A and B are shown apart, each in its own frame.
Chain A
Amino acid sequence: NAGVTQTPKFQVLKTGQSMTLQCAQDMNHNSMYWYRQDPGMGLRLIYYSASEGTTDKGEVPNGYNVSRLNKREFSLRLESAAPSQTSVYFCATGGLAASTDTQYFGPGTRLTVL
């Protein structure tokens, strides 16, 4: 039982390059989330998926796209990376029922855009 996994752990991109961050969970949770963490700002929600087949924008969606491939996987894509997207990215999962309202986080991906 791996919980929430993210790949890669580290990535360096040049401005304008594209890449996809992968997230997978084996917790059978319906909802999945992508957050970014910048110094002094806490975590901010980029996109989320309440269930397979649905995605919605969060607080800071510009410059990103997401795909909920199936119940287990939720990917985040940067089409044309910018230095402002240098950050640590976290994937999280959680249920919507009161008994499963805790979100569980992956280990994060540290992305640097030069």
Chain B
Amino acid sequence: AQTVTQSQPEMSVQEAETVTLSCTYDTSESDYYLFWYKQPPSRQMILVIRQEAYKQQNATENRFSVNFQKAAKSFSLKISDSQLGDAAMYFCAYRSNAGGTSYGKLTFGQGTILTVHP
């Protein structure tokens, strides 16, 4: 079974600075997707960014980018030019693309609470 670990329960950053959230995962599969979801106080789960394992190029979405290290099974999220609206809980998630009974299901990490200071 796959596991996802976020070792930072809480992180903080000054507005306009850069912060990196860590995520590691364990899997024996080679074909999968990785995601970062944001959960603000409203509880809505919002997709931030996704990465296909077969792509070596790191995904980017505006101020959000990832550092995907497949061999190390590491998937960190970098937020540049942090804004007050970035304050939220961030979840790393794994999704198998290997078919079978695990197909489509997300496995989540424990989450990291990000605080942004003005």
Contact = CB atoms under 8 A, between A and B. Distances in A.
Interface of A: 31, 33, 35, 40-45, 48, 50, 56, 58, 88, 90, 92, 94, 96, 98, 101-105, 107-108, 110
Interface in B41-74: 42-45, 47, 50
Given A101-B95, A101-B97, A88 B43 contact: yes
A81 B113 CA distance: 30
A21 to B, nearest CB: 15
B50 A45 contact: no
A45 B104 CA distance: 11
A107 B110 CA distance: 19
Given A88-B43, A101-B97, A105-B44, A41 B104 contact: no
A105 B110 contact: no
Q: Which of B43, B101, B107 has the most CB of A within 10 A?
A: B43
Contacts of B108: 35, 42-44
Given A40-B110, A41-B110, A101-B95, A56 B43 contact: no
Contacts of A110: 43
Contacts, number: 60
B117 interface: no
Nearest to A108: B43
A42 B110 contact: yes
Given A90-B45, A101-B33, A107-B43, A42 B91 contact: yes
Contacts of B106: 33, 35, 43, 45, 92, 103
A56 B109 contact: no
14 contacts: A35-B108, A40-B111, A41-B110, A43-B108, A45-B106, A58-B105, A88-B43, A94-B104, A101-B33, A101-B50, A103-B106, A105-B37, A107-B42, A108-B43
Contacts of B111: 40, 42
Nearest to B4: A42
A56 B43 CA distance: 26
